[in-house]
Amino acid sequence: MGDGACLGICFTDHELLFAVHQPGNPREILHTGCHEFSFRIRDILTAGDSGLFDLVATSIRRIKERFPTSEARILTPAPEECWTILPRSVYEHASERESHIRMLMEGVPREDLSVTWETVSNNDFKLLSIRRNSSFAPFEKLLKDFTHTEYFSEYEVGTLWQQMTGISGSFMHIHCQKNYLSVSSHILGKLRGVAVIPSQTMEDLPYLWKLHASRLPWMDGIHEKIYLYGPEALAVSAMLHTQWEDAGDTILMNSFDAMTLSSPEKTVGFKLESAFPAILLSAAQ
| N-to-C CA span, the chain | 18
Does 26 score more than 90 pLDDT? no
pLDDT in tens, 95-121: 999 999 999 999 999 999 999 999 999
Among 281, 253, 45, 49, smallest CA distance to 163 is for 281
Among 236, 22, 246, 218, smallest CA distance to 254 is for 236
Specify the pLDDT at position 267.
87
How far is residue 170's CA from residue 178's CA, in Å, rounded to a whole number? 26
Q: What is the mean pLDDT of residues 201-211?
A: 95
Specify the pLDDT at position 48.
60
Place 212 in a pLDDT band, splitting at 50, 70 and 90.
very high
pLDDT in tens, 159-186: 999 999 999 899 999 999 999 999 999 9
Specify the pLDDT at position 64.
94
Cβ atoms 151, 76 nearer than 8 A: yes
Q: In whole numbers, what is the pLDDT of the chain averaged over residues?
A: 93
Q: What percent of the chain has pLDDT over 70?
A: 98
- Burial (0-12, 13-18, 19+ Cβ within 10 Å), 280: buried
- Burial (0-12, 13-18, 19+ Cβ within 10 Å), 276: buried
Does 4 score more than 70 pLDDT? no
Specify the pLDDT at position 35.
96
Specify the pLDDT at position 103.
95
Higher local confidence (pLDDT), 250 or 25? 250
Q: What is the mean pLDDT of residues 206-223?
A: 94
Specify the pLDDT at position 1.
40
Q: What is the mean pLDDT of residues 237-253?
A: 91
3-state SS, residue 145 = coil
**What is the edge-to-edge ordering of all strands in the sheet holding 180-187?**
190-198, 180-187, 170-176, 225-229, 249-252
